[in-house]
Structure 1
Amino acid sequence: MKVPVKEEFLKRMKELLKEEYEAFLKEYEKKPQKGLRVNTLKIDVENFKKIAPFEIEPIPWCPTGFYYEKEEKAGNHLYHVLGLYYIQEPTAMAVVEVLDPKPGEKILDVSAAPGGKTTHIASKIGDEGLIVANEIDRKRIRALEENVARMGIRNIVLLNERPERLIQAFEGYFDKIVVDAPCSGEGMFRKDPAARRIWSLNNVLSCSITQRNILRSVAPLLKRGGVLVYSTCTFSPEENEGVIKKFLEENPEFEVVESELSHFFDKGHPEWVDGPKELEKCMRLWPHKVRGEGHFIAKLKKNGEDVNVNFKRKVEKKKHQKELELFYQFADKYLDLDLEILNLQVDNNFVYHVPLDLPELKGIRIYRHGWLMGELKKNRFEPSHWLAMGLKPSQIKRVLELDKFQREKYLNGETFELDEEDGWILFTAENFPAGWGRVAKGVVKNYFPKWLRDIEVWEE
């Protein structure tokens, strides 16, 4: 095995896999599998295939997912910056495919950063429905926000809260929940040296306690008849079948259900945890059996009749009407958007479209109240990059396609001359929104975000 790992881990895997152990071990002599997922909020799969900048190969269990070669710099490409795709490990794409989100559903992603599952859900439900993306780690939630903005997701709220506190606002609220639980990361050993270094049996057991606590916290948030998908990127039975076994014992209203995708993957192993036979309906994605790093997935259904709960929220447009005047002036001049469909609210000078179906969130730590329109500053409104990426060019009154010279300047955060009337312009690249610029006396002030300027190359 070329990837150095601890002997205790290897011994455990040999005991579990028996005659398959050598095939599992040999897989670690190969390079990690790389994948990207097309953002269908911006482009459909067929059109992406026509413009794909490098060779791609379909991932069987994800209609929008593709393998690409590790040598390709997919994260450095213009299309990545424009939000046309999300780089994601191939087996991780199976989680939301198993969840099977539908337009109009209310969906919770419990441990959402950096955004792989969240952005995948959004591509499934479009603008019809609501995503609540929660991340307890304040440092990681910034990456979640950046990915959500880059992908142009509008019907979403970002929370920074402990899972057990969500019951204050969301009991019986969600149609579907995904718990991609923090784990010991054994499926990341091939590509992540840190995961190999910190692995220990104590960490495995500690993770299993955390995982059980998260599931215990979010179970009441699901409607009767709703679906909860639990996943990890690890192999240990304690964190997988063992967690589900304990959860079923504590929550008899739940059952493990078969997924339509189960034929792609191995079954769960109830015998590893002395569990019920229904644990066979869980799915194990082994790196020696599928092209990917590895995952465990359990699809759970909450049985019983749904109880209609009235989740009321105050619409506070009148309260903020005066504050919003600067936004309305901006919108009148630059946007071709039906403002009546927006539920505009102001928080700390930030203007949001807050999804109407959202309940009151009193006592809940909110990171972003919804789709961030921009910020109210002294005597003006400054639009956000998130607003730019969530709009279609047809919804902007001033749009300019950047030429090659302008694009290089813009994407590197530089100013450049432009013979245009003073004011805001949405710049596009290959007819996709790239971000805002503001013309003043023939010079463009650049509003391309600093967090996107670190890309090394902008080749086509």
Structure 2
Amino acid sequence: MQRFLFPHEFEERLRSQRGHDWQAFSAIHGEASPVSIRLNPAKTKNHNALFKQQASPDIQSVPWTKHGFYLNERPSFTLDPAFHAGTYYVQEASSMLLEQAILQYFDNKENIRALDLCAAPGGKSTHLLSLLSTNSLLVSNEVIRSRANILAENITKWGHANVVVTNNDPEDFEKLKGFFDLMVVDAPCSGEGLFRKDAEAMKEWSVENANLCAMRQQRIVHDVWPALKENGILIYCTCTYNPEENNKNIERFAQELNAEILPLDINPNWGVQALDHGYQCFPDKVKGEGFYIAILRKKETQSSGRMRGGKTVFTKVPNAAVRYQQWLNTSEVKLTQFREFLLTIPSEQEEAITFVCSNLKTVSAGTTMGTLKHDKLIPDHALAMSTVLNKENFPHVEASYEEAIAYLRKDVFWQEGLTKGFSLIQYENFTLGWANVLDNRLNNLYPADWRIRMAGN
């Protein structure tokens, strides 16, 4: 096996950190990275429905999460219709350790307000949506606009209405003093834990860059801290091994912010290493990449500001549109309007969502049901993806695998005997999107920007 060549300064430091375990750490970087997915329990609990048209990979559970699985090979996710239906998310296994922090410090029947500060492309946000109650609120934020759009796409596919996607700097959240019960800060880092799967991460690494990352992380946490409630929980994580970005930063936060460092109950058989402050995954100890996680509780008194300020962004739904409530399968969400769009949001979080959208740059809020044109609603793709859609209100077009791929490419296909009007395109009972069935053709309404461009079947 060819020796993996690390940056010299990195190797010196890791040899010191790992001691006699260095050889195992070095050797594992010559092996392929594990492939792992996490199911969307709101859409499927059965992994056997996935990858039906490809060599079906063996499935092994990720031990620290209920719905995470390893695959023995990497299939073409792009050519799996179930992936586009939002039935699973392709996510690195170590980062799923977030689930333990949520389960150990929150009751999933409790309705809370949570922030995923550095959320793109959406792994931790989709995970949080599966762990929190449906009447909780998640604000999923990304500072870079192009990445915020990718985040919004993945959130839409996941299908939950209790989420707002925003595009803000950490300091902007100071306007939401004492608003959040939970914050997840997956901080931009030096990326040392991704060296074997991302060659660019290693090319960009330097001691200077790692030190800059540590300082940026300090600024990010300090900027967002006022928005955390008294006794609120901040989960801090990185994909690096650098003590300056991990243990030492947590020590700084505890001292400078008067925060309490909290433990996690970690099964010793998992191979996760307990550090002075926090927990580290090493790829030779766990089946995953490098990952660090630590938990802080806010001890200082934090006054919660009143939910006001900013311009109201929503308007009352016209009487003619109230009937579209019947398109939904729950009474726990309500209709509201933004410009020409009809949205659905959790009734219990209406005031909080209005407050967030009035104070932050909003990319999406709740589920977009569709566009109101006069007294008619043109359904949006987000509604087809939504877990609150009552699918029995619409005809279904059950597509073969070839037809599903054609649909996802935004090509045209036709079946005899279809019912005219808006229909849901389905594959293996997973909804892919809308089509408008006319007399002799089917208008493909799949979002053009999302279409498959990859060749092959």
| Closer, same or farther: CA 236–451 of 1 in aligned 2, 3 Å | same
Q: What is the root-mean-square deviation of aligned Cα atoms in Å?
A: 2.8
CA apart distance, 1:442: 2.7
The residue aligned with 1:352 is: 343
- Give the conservation status (yes or no) of the 8 Å contact 1:107–1:132: yes
1:209 counterpart SS class: helix
The residue aligned with 2:156 is: 149
The number of residues matched between the two structures is 439
For 1:270-419, what aligned pairs fall within 5 Å after superposition?
280-303=276-299, 310-311=306-307, 319-322=315-318, 325=320, 327-328=321-322, 331=324, 335=327, 337=329, 341-347=333-339, 349-354=340-345, 355-356=349-350, 357-358=352-353, 360-361=355-356, 362-376=358-372, 381-391=377-387, 394-404=390-400, 406-418=403-415, 419=417
Deviations 1:140-161 (A, max 9, x none): 1111111111111211001100
The residue aligned with 1:227 is: 233
| Closer, same or farther: CA 318–5 of 1 in aligned 2, 3 Å | closer
- CA–CA separation in structure 1 for the residues paired with 2:316 and 2:245: 47
Match of 1:57 among 53, 56, 60: 60
| Closer, same or farther: CA 321–453 of 1 in aligned 2, 3 Å | closer
- CA–CA separation in structure 2 for the residues paired with 1:384 and 1:458: 28
- CA–CA separation in structure 2 for the residues paired with 1:10 and 1:308: 46
Matched residue type, 1:368: S
The residue aligned with 2:422 is: 424
- CA–CA separation in structure 2 for the residues paired with 1:393 and 1:359: 22
For 1:95-244, what aligned pairs fall within 5 Å after superposition?
95-100=98-103, 102-103=108-109, 104-168=111-175, 170-244=176-250
| Closer, same or farther: CA 428–251 of 1 in aligned 2, 3 Å | same
CA apart distance, 1:431: 1.5
- CA–CA separation in structure 2 for the residues paired with 1:190 and 1:372: 39
Percentage of pairs with the same residue: 29
- Give the conservation status (yes or no) of the 8 Å contact 1:99–1:227: no
- CA–CA separation in structure 2 for the residues paired with 1:30 and 1:57: 18
| Closer, same or farther: CA 378–207 of 1 in aligned 2, 3 Å | farther
The residue aligned with 2:44 is: 43
CA apart distance, 1:230: 0.2
TM-score by length of 1: 0.87
| Closer, same or farther: CA 437–300 of 1 in aligned 2, 3 Å | same
- Give the conservation status (yes or no) of the 8 Å contact 1:76–1:455: no
- Give the conservation status (yes or no) of the 8 Å contact 1:27–1:288: yes
Matched residue type, 1:161: N
Structure 2 unaligned blocks of 5 or more? none
Structure 1 unaligned blocks of 5 or more? 269-279
Establish whether residue 82 from structure 1 lines up as the match of residue 110 from structure 2. Answer: no
- CA–CA separation in structure 1 for the residues paired with 2:68 and 2:329: 32
Matched residue type, 2:247: E
1:62 counterpart SS class: coil
1:23 counterpart SS class: helix
1:342 counterpart SS class: strand
Establish whether residue 261 from structure 1 lines up as the match of residue 229 from structure 2. Answer: no
CA apart distance, 1:458: 8.7
Deviations 1:135-181 (A, max 9, x none): 0011111111111111112110011001111121x211111110000
Tell which deviates more after alignment, 217-226 or 56-65: 217-226
- CA–CA separation in structure 2 for the residues paired with 1:4 and 1:457: 35
Deviations 1:353-408 (A, max 9, x none): 24413252434211113222223458853322111110467444113142326434
- Give the conservation status (yes or no) of the 8 Å contact 1:99–1:176: no
